[in-house]
Amino acid sequence: MPKCTRWVAAGRQMLAYALVAWGASAAAQHSALPDTISKVKPSVVIVGSYNPTAAPRFSLRGTGFVVGSGNWVVSNAHVLQAPGSAPPQGQLVVQVRTGPETFQTRAARVLDKDVFHDLTLLQIDGPPVPALSLADSDRVKEGQELAFMGFPIGGALGFSSVTHRAMVSSITQARLPSAQSGQLNERAIRGLREGNFQIFQLDATAYPGNSGGPLFDPVSGEVVGVVNMVMLKGARESALSQPSGISYAIPARHVREMMARQRP
């Protein structure tokens, strides 16, 4: 057999092996996801506000997830108050799952708010809740298959967590909208001076209510990012009627940094 023919044959064989390996990996991820969802679900919570004189008394702001020893909740800073909007009325609370369709309301307070990366860390009262582990988000690659979980469309579908598959279509530089002057602190100002940071672009549709939810590995359940925003085609209302299919997530490395600031 001529040498060039042998090279072609060897190349085809290597390609066939690669395709088989890729197919096996994809199949493993798909088969593992149902079990991973069951493992992740108890740690994904609803962030909202409670006002005993309002109707309804509870108002959903977004999603969060439990980390650390079980009394810390990660979410987006804009879930607490979107830039340019009035502060939500009522007490900040988190609803944690106590059964398949039941939740318990816990009082919450803000431990840290990283406006530049649009992250917040909350402390919740009560016994510890199962926590999620953080993966090394610097190891995430473009084309990687992930999943995210949250409570989309402000509870219009009922307070049932929803899971979406997502591929990392790009790891790109992004600058989030700057905070109002009243929200700026020394760390936020320093971050704005330092410039942009990397963000995960996903080929998936997130909706209002998904903000703050975990982006996780479909096999291990480890969190690699925090769902942050969805690209809109027009006005905010178009997120429901004309979803772009493009969403973004903050890498988990910034969550790890925020948690580290709370430890002596």
Its pTM stands at 0.79
Sign of CA dihedral 200, 81, 71, 55: negative
CATH 2.40.10.10 positions along the chain are: 43-124, 137-260
Q: CA–CA separation, 230 vs 186, rounded Å? A: 28
CA distances (Å), origin 263, targets 136, 202, 211, 260: 19, 32, 26, 5
Q: Which fold has domain 137-260?
A: Thrombin, subunit H (2.40.10)
- Residue 23's pLDDT is what? 47
- Residue 81's pLDDT is what? 83
DSSP 218: T
- Residue 87's pLDDT is what? 74
User: 10-residue block means of pLDDT along the chain (264 residues)?
Assistant: 56 51 50 94 96 87 96 95 74 93 93 93 96 97 97 70 94 64 48 70 87 97 91 41 69 96 79
Q: How many CB atoms lie within 10 A of CB 213?
A: 33
- Residue 238's pLDDT is what? 41
- Residue 127's pLDDT is what? 96
Peptide bond into 83 cis (omega under 30): no
- Region of 84 (left: φ > 0; alpha: ψ -120 to 50; beta: rest) is left
Task: Note the CATH number of domain 43-124.
Answer: 2.40.10.10
- Residue 183's pLDDT is what? 45
- Residue 14's pLDDT is what? 57
- Residue 56's pLDDT is what? 84
